Amino acid sequence: MSHDTRSGNAPTTQLLLAEIDRAFDASTARLSEFLRIPSVSTDPAFDGETRRCADWLVGQLRELGFVAEAAKTIGHPMVVAHHAGVGPDATKRPRILYYGHYDVQPADPLELWASPPFEPTVVDGPRGKRIVARGAVDDKGQVMGIVEALRAWHTLAGGPPCPVTLMIEGEEESGSRSLEPFLHGAKDRLAADVCVVSDTGMWDIKTPAITTRLRGLVYSEVTIHGPTRDLHSGMYGGAVPNPINVLARVVADLHDAERKVMIPGFYDGVSDVPAETLAQWDSLGFSDAEFLGDIGLTEGFGERGRTTIERTWSRPTCDVNGIFGGYTGKGAKTVIAAHATAKISFRLVSKQDPEKIAAAFEAFVLARLPAGCRAEFERHGTNPAIEVSETSRFLGAADRGLRAVFAKSPLLIGSGGSIPAVGSIGRILGMDSLLVGFGLDDDCVHSPNEKFELECYRNAIGSHAAMLSEFAALSR
């Protein structure tokens, strides 16, 4: 018999969690269906599949009584769904906007996957069963954590206890190009009291976390052009500029011996982390040995005098993400290439200005070009760092919901990653975000063999269901 809030009888968290356990195999089967659709947003070859993925999600949400559509944007569709909430009091309760993304990173290199990336496979791991597929945790598993929590509410109460809107985008992994134009045109539909984002990590498998800071990102692609064609390196070598050598010099100059970034003005706007925050981070008991051991390293590497946590949560960085040019086939070919390209990204913190950083990087490259070379730049999207409130009433409610599932409070953490939407939602919709995620450090996000522990999936569903009860208990 289902409990119905229309008769004023909201299900207890205990009942919700029992329903989630009962339906868990079906929830996992639906996650598998979602993962089977290769929604790689950055590659136009997958545009049809990306569209199909949005439509699939719309179908799921309609089943749960949502008014849902795959809304048109200048890029991939935005899944938007709304439910007014059940019960006579729903309108008095806070409106919740959920954000996540249905697109995924490219799966290559394919040969490093133990099973095909778009054929989700449940396998045994050291911490129980896990589902392996591209997007398992980033972000399809986490989006399904929300959807399946709403399903439990649908089964037990006929719908969520408060007004709920979902905005699930299809371009997060490729720079969220359509997001801001979309937000400007959809302010009314998306109006809410808080935005809940599930695209981050936990502290460990038994300890939930709320992320309160994310780094920003500047991503720039630079191509150095030299001679008009590839040349014999014996005939011309030593007498002409070699674009690969020039690019290598630029890359080498980016850091000094203490791993400081050498671009003039790069640290403008970077502030020190308050002493009490540093003390809280110290108290977390972060293990370098575990973090590094998982990736086959023993020693950290980065800015001198900083801990690993400071380096990833609070310091800006510069990394080359790809570099190519010249002959990369088998054997040797004596050639001077006409072009060389690098994809270079910067993670930003505090008040660093993405536009200024992008421009300063370009000037840094131009200053190092010998006569006869020119540089071409392509910017792949920029977004500033963000910090969210550590004391809001929604955070308090989330704490209570998470405690019901994990029997302990979430830790407040930072993250080195970026979610451009959080900043855009704050600026354009005027809304704070609450970042509650269920990934683990060893989930292989963006890498081969990405996975989501089924324990994390189950707890994600339970937590979203329980947090919704707590949000509904707050007044609007």
87 contact, one of Zn ion, ligand BES, none, CB 5-8 Å limit per kind: none
Q: Could you identify the residue written with the tokens 């597929």? A: 133
Nearest-angstrom CA–CA distance, 54 and 168: 9
Question: Least CB distance from residue 102 to Zn ion, whole Å?
Answer: 12
Question: Least CB distance from residue 168 to ligand BES, whole Å?
Answer: 12
Give the burial string for 370-384 (b: 16+ CB within 10 Å, else e). Answer: eeebebeeebbbbbb
- Of the pair 405, 419, the CB lying nearest Zn ion is at 419
For the chain, the first-to-last Cα distance in angstroms comes to: 30
Determine contact, residues 340/247, Cβ cutoff 8 Å: yes
In terms of DSSP H, where are the helices of 367-473? 393-406, 420-424, 454-472
- Of the pair 138, 193, the CB lying nearest Zn ion is at 138
417 touches ligand BES (CB under 6 A): yes
417 contact, one of Zn ion, ligand BES, none, CB 5-8 Å limit per kind: ligand BES
Residue 333 C-beta-side C-alpha neighbours within 13 Å: 11
Total residues contacting ligand BES by CB under 6 A comes to 16
Mask 360-399, x = binds Zn ion (CB under 5 A)?
----------------------------------------
- Of the pair 40, 472, the CB lying nearest Zn ion is at 40
Restricted to residues 167-206, the positions that interact with ligand BES (CB under 6 A) are 172-173, 175, 199-201
Nearest-angstrom CA–CA distance, 430 and 33: 35
Determine contact, residues 112/122, Cβ cutoff 8 Å: no
Rg of the chain (C-alpha set): 24
Question: Least CB distance from residue 385 to ligand BES, whole Å?
Answer: 11
Nearest-angstrom CA–CA distance, 171 and 261: 29
Q: What are 442's two structure tokens?
A: 């060893």
Restricted to residues 125-184, the positions that interact with Zn ion (CB under 5 A) are 138
201 contact, one of Zn ion, ligand BES, none, CB 5-8 Å limit per kind: ligand BES
Question: Least CB distance from residue 168 to Zn ion, whole Å?
Answer: 14
- Of the pair 87, 437, the CB lying nearest Zn ion is at 437
Work out which of 314, 341, 418, 459 binds ligand BES, going by CB under 6 A.
418
- Of the pair 278, 444, the CB lying nearest ligand BES is at 444
Tell me whether residue 425 is exposed, middle or buried, using C-beta atoms within 10 angstroms of its C-beta: 0 to 12, 13 to 18, 19 or more: buried
Restricted to residues 427-456, the positions that interact with ligand BES (CB under 6 A) are 445
Nearest-angstrom CA–CA distance, 318 and 346: 4
- In this structure, are strands 194-197 and 96-101 parallel, antiparallel, or unpaired? parallel
Nearest-angstrom CA–CA distance, 122 and 120: 7
Task: Name the one range near ligand BES by CB under 6 A: 82-90, 296-304, 417-425, 452-460.
Answer: 417-425
175 contact, one of Zn ion, ligand BES, none, CB 5-8 Å limit per kind: ligand BES
Summarize as ranges the residues that interact with Zn ion (CB under 5 A): 138
Q: Which residues bind ligand BES (CB under 6 A)?
A: 138-139, 172-173, 175, 199-201, 217, 381, 415, 417-420, 445
